Structure 1
Amino acid sequence: MLLEGKNAIVTGGSQGIGTAASLELAKEGANVCLTYRRHADEAQDVVQQIERMGRKAICMACDIAVFTEVESVVQATLEAFGRVDILVNNAGMNWDGVCWKMSEEQWDRVMDVNLKGYFNFTRHTAPLFKGQKYGKIVNVTSINGMRGKFGQTNYSASKAGIIGYTKAVAKELGAFGVNVNAVAPGLIETAMLKESEARDKIIDLAMAEIVLKRVGQPEDLASVIAFLASDKARHITGEVIKVDGGQYI
């Protein structure tokens, strides 16, 4: 197992990519603290699945945009597991609209969650990683942060910001044995997509771009996250790995 004895925090772990990442990390040996915003029952179900693997797991409600709530999550993880080795910044949101109609609230909320939320968790874990001279940070961005997407100026800007943030933090923490990388998914079939009224249209548009001609699954991303969180990736930092079936090409 790649992560035997390691302890991880996964934000947005109650659904989709976060759930798949939490389970994959546990499968590889890690104990996991996962955060959620609204889906308490689903989060508790993930905890139970992890515990059935013989790992420790806790879940905590958290608005990742609130600095003090994030601090509480990190402290609770330390109390439960003794230390933190891995941070997966995954939780995010979209609130779409063209730039000439987008409200200030739409812009600010997406930035607060998608960008400030990542800073909040990094800010509270980086001193731990620095002190123990070990840590793995994996940030979930998007190919739309690399190319932009119509109707998603706020989302695209936030995800582009994560890419720059990843590279800067990698430079700051590298001397302390901390690896900081990002994964950039294309279209992934999450619950949000399955429940969307425009699901078929979204898939059709994406499939016209996806070279491998299959819709990505959360597990496709989770396996890359687990690799980057392991010592198999010890000489990789500051990188952005696309997991998109060739959608960006």
Structure 2
Amino acid sequence: MKTPNHDMNEKICVVTGAARGLGRAISETLALAGATRVYACDINMAPAEDWIGNYSNITAIPLDVCDHHALSALSGRIMTEQGRLDVLVNNAGITRDALLEKMTESDWDRVLDVNLKGIFMMTRAMLPLMKLQDRGSIVSISSVVGTDGNIGQSNYAASKGGIISMTKGWAKEFVYGGAQIRANCIAPGFINTEMTQAVPEKVLSKMCARIPLAALGEPQDIAEGVLFLASDRSRYITGQVLKIDGGLVL
């Protein structure tokens, strides 16, 4: 069991892609840090059934980040139940990897829709709830692939690089008029999730050999970075990309 702290006391949070992997670790960490409510959202919340009941301050929300009507309904619900939003964590994302010559247009479109357009739509829907108090923290999960590229991931790299560019623009835009709404990114490296667990051991060994700290990261490593950027401990940080990659990209 993770150790509770109080960095999220009285804060209202939304996490997308929350059912498993990074999203689960982030949701649990924010809840244990004292959040009043964490709305844990995912297009398929079934994987969360074995853990989410352990937290009285987490609410499961089935949600497609590309569904305008669902986003509007979520915004309305949060407004009715909480009257504001303090933290938005844009974590939902997918991969459809292929070399460029074999990548289909549908694979390109789907990755850009979920990973980039989905974050745009989610943030646009949640921003008015932060503007009610002129403060808040938006943390979007990018990737080192978004800063340095990777073979066979043209669509993924474009989407993750786009998140970084959007975030930098938002960091300037959302403080207009004196508001304190911050926007930052986290760029994970190779993290021990279901995706990497499916990679053959021989390939994993080669991946680890490229990392100065000689190991995959854990979901909790990313969750701790999110907690920092979501909390008031980072109140003077905005428009930044925090790489959590064991030194993979230096």
Question: Which interval holds the TM-score relative to the shorter structure?
Answer: over 0.9
Q: Which consecutive residues of structure 1, in runs of 5 or more, have no partner in the other structure?
A: none
Aligned partners of 2:84 and 2:130 also within 8 Å: no
**Cross-structure match for 1:58:** 59
1:73-92 alignment runs, 5 A limit: 73-92=74-93
Deviations 1:40-86 (A, max 9, x none): 332244431222xxxx2211111112222222222223333332110
* Residue 192 (structure 1) aligns with: 195
Residues in 2 aligned to 1:112 and 1:69: alpha-carbon distance in whole angstroms: 16
1:35 partner SS: strand
Q: Provide, for residues 184-215 of structure 1, a one-character-per-residue CA deviation record: whole Å limited to 9, x for no partner.
A: 00001112222x1x342442232121111111
Whether the aligned pair in 2 keeps the contact of 1:209 and 1:248 (CA below 8 Å) is no
Letter in 1 for 2:25: A
Q: How far apart are 1:98 and its partner, in Å?
A: 1.1
Contact 1:206 / 1:247 at 8 angstroms: preserved in 2? no
Q: Within 2, Cα distance between the matches of 1:134 and 1:47?
A: 28
- Identity over aligned residues, as a percent? 40
Match of 1:35 in 2: 41
Deviation at 1:179, TM superposition (A): 0.9
Q: Name the SS of the counterpart of 1:4 in structure 2.
A: coil
**Closer/same/farther in 2, CA of residues 77 and 57 from structure 1, 3 Å limit:** farther
Counterparts of 1:87 and 1:227, CA distance in 2? 13
After TM superposition, the structure 1 stretch with the greater mean CA deviation from structure 2, 101-110 or 68-77, is: 68-77
Is the 1:96–1:152 Cα contact (8 Å) retained in structure 2? yes
Alpha-carbon distance in 1 for matches of 2:85, 2:16? 14
Q: Which moved more, 1:19-28 or 1:74-83?
A: 74-83
In 2: Cα distance, 1:146 partner to 1:98 partner:
18
Cα 1:202–1:103 shift into 2, 3 Å: same
2:39 aligns to what SS in structure 1? strand
**1:207 aligned partner:** 208
Decide whether aligned partners of structure 1 residues 201 and 156 sit closer, same or farther in structure 2, where only a CA change above 3 A counts: farther
| Cα shift at 1:129 | 1.4
What's the counterpart of residue 170 of structure 1? 171
How far 1:178 sits from its partner (Å)? 0.6
What is the CA deviation profile of residues 211-240 of structure 1, one whole-angstrom value per residue up to 9, with x for unaligned ones?
111110000000110010001000000000
Question: What does 1:1-249 correspond to in 2, within 5 Å?
Answer: 1-30=6-35, 31-38=37-44, 40-51=45-56, 56-174=57-175, 175-194=178-197, 196=198, 198-249=199-250
- Do the aligned partners of residues 67 and 201 (structure 1) sit closer, same or farther apart at CA in structure 2, a change above 3 Å counting? farther
Q: Aligned in 2, Cα 1:202/1:61: closer, same or farther, shift over 3 Å? A: farther
C-alpha RMSD of matched pairs (Å): 1.3
- How many Å separate the matches in 1 of 2:249 and 2:85? 34
Q: Could you tell me the TM-score, scaled by structure 2's length?
A: 0.93
Could you list the per-position Cα deviations for residues 141-177 of structure 1 after superposition, in whole angstroms to 9, with x for gaps in the alignment? 0000001100000000000000001100111012310
Contact 1:36 1:43 in 2 (8 A): no
Residue-pair matches, total: 242
